[in-house]
Structure 1
Amino acid sequence: MATLEKFSDIFDRAAERKGGAKALGLLMPQTLDADEIGQFTDAQLLSAMSKQVFQSGFVWRVVENKWPAYEEAFFNFEPFKVLMLSPDQIQERATDATLIRHQKKTQSIVDNAYMVQQLAAEHGSFAEFIANWPEDDITGLWQVLKKKGSRLGGNTGPYFLRTVGKDTFLLTNDVQSYLKANKVVDAGFTSQTALRQAQAAFNHWQQESGLSQAQISRIISLGVGDNRV
């Protein structure tokens, strides 16, 4: 691994760009502890996951406005009820004008309900599975979601985890640019090598700073490029 920049320098650069440490602090994402995450129901997590899948590459506001209709159409996202839908019923929902007409994303709700149910059976609940996953291997959790789930690759799985309060960094365009420019990562970001290198860097910065990985990635993004969060 390349010699990592001191996190204090990364922080100072972001603070300067955003109007000081106090102003920067107001932009930090919030995370939940394991007990708090463990309180989510499997239905709540399937809903949040499904919403993130639909928001990927789409106008988030439109998805948000339509989500009450999704809750009704998919039985409040109770996994066992979703899995009782017949192929014809799934097709009806994929072409319903009150929802979003997208066959593959609609099917992903069912596929991910199966994943949620399977992992819940193994770990007591899907929430417990997420809550107890070690944060120093968060990219490993990304890979489980991608492999076992549907349409959860790229940043979709990590954004879902961020939404439900799991501490995770995000490989946004600005964060990727920083990691590449500073030779922290020397492989494509879809590769296992790059994920291991990024994880090692974030683990190092977390030990150095005492901040969450979510906060660290937000600070990196605010200190470079377009200041995207």
Structure 2
Amino acid sequence: MEKICNWSQNGHQNMAQYHDNEWGFAVLDETKTFESMILEIMQAGLSWQTILNKRPAFRQAFSNYTIEKIAQYNDYDVKQLISNKEIIRNKRKIEAIISNAQLLSLLHVEEAFSLNAYLWSFFDDKPLIMNYHTQADMQGFTSISSTISRELKKQGFKFLGPTIVQSWLEALGIINSHLTACPVKQQCENFFSKNYTL
């Protein structure tokens, strides 16, 4: 049985810090949820190490992840982002992020919709605890991530396939996919119980 999530043990400090202090810790904040969505979309087809290395640049490029500001981006802003060598210059990803911000900003106003609350609602507002003993046991996507991906697509959200959604839910702590023997797994459970359980 592996005792720690070995994807975090690549010798890079920011990867270990992300695993130990963020990944799997429950998030209930809308802006942080959207930030995580941006990072997960940008990560598609790339390494997570690449995303963490560029994380400060993403924050600056995307207006500190302020949803309403991103929703106002126009063609000029898209061109600026595509020319920004500090981030991932993928037009399809960039346009999907802006489109998602526009949709979410509209839903905030018209329906008092919370993307974070929406995601948690699929799990009765408590984390789903997975029991993975080795990295090989982990799944790229699950039936629930496929369902959520399909429902998000119906809402109009883009570039959120089952694999991206699975990774996103894990990052937000909605699904706790730390290996069973990983000490951070229990820390995530304790964090949720202390901060969010009524």
TM-score tier after normalising by the smaller chain length: 0.5 to 0.7
Matched, 1:161 2:169: yes
How high is the TM-score relative to the length of structure 1?
0.54
For residues 162-215 of structure 1, what are the alpha-carbon distances to aligned partners after superposition, in whole Å with 9 as ceiling and x for unaligned?
Answer: 110113xxxxxxxxxxxxxxxxxxxxxxxxxxxxxxxxxxxxxxxxxxxx7x57
Q: Which residue of 1 aligns with 2:135?
A: none
Shift of 1:134: 3.6
The correspondence for 2:55, drawn from 67, 84, 91, is 67
Matched, 1:55 2:43: yes
How high is the TM-score relative to the length of structure 2?
0.61
Specify the code of the residue in structure 1 equivalent to 2:56.
P
Specify the code of the residue in structure 2 equivalent to 1:154.
P
The correspondence for 1:128, drawn from 95, 117, 139, is 117
Percent identity over the alignment? 20
Q: Which has the higher contact order (CA 8 A, sep 6+)?
A: 2
Q: Which residue of 2 aligns with 1:97?
A: 85
Task: Give distance in 1, aligned partners of 2:51 and 2:93.
Answer: 12
Q: Which residue of 2 aligns with 1:149?
A: 157
Preserved CA contact (<8 Å) 1:48 1:164? yes
Q: Which residue of 2 aligns with 1:83?
A: 71
Gaps of 5+ in 2: 6-18, 129-142, 181-198
Q: Which residue of 2 aligns with 1:140?
A: 147
**Bigger fraction of residues in helix:** 1
Shift of 1:54: 1.1
Specify the code of the residue in structure 2 equivalent to 1:68.
P
Q: Which residue of 1 aligns with 2:184?
A: none
Task: Give distance in 1, aligned partners of 2:163 and 2:103.
Answer: 18
Structure 2 residue matching 1:88: 3-state secondary structure: helix
Gaps of 5+ in 1: 1-17, 168-211, 220-229
| Count of residue correspondences | 145
Shift of 1:124: 4.4
Given the superposition, is the C-alpha separation of residues 46 and 87 from structure 1 closer, same or farther in structure 2, using an over 3 Å criterion? same
Runs of 4+ in 1 over 4 A off after TM superposition: 29-32
Task: Give distance in 2, aligned partners of 1:87 and 1:112.
Answer: 15
The correspondence for 1:114, drawn from 102, 105, 116, is 102
Preserved CA contact (<8 Å) 1:119 1:126? no
Structure 1 residue matching 2:160: 3-state secondary structure: coil
Shift of 1:51: 0.5
Structure 2 residue matching 1:91: 3-state secondary structure: helix
Structure 2 residue matching 1:155: 3-state secondary structure: helix
Higher Cα Rg: structure 1 or 2? Answer: 1
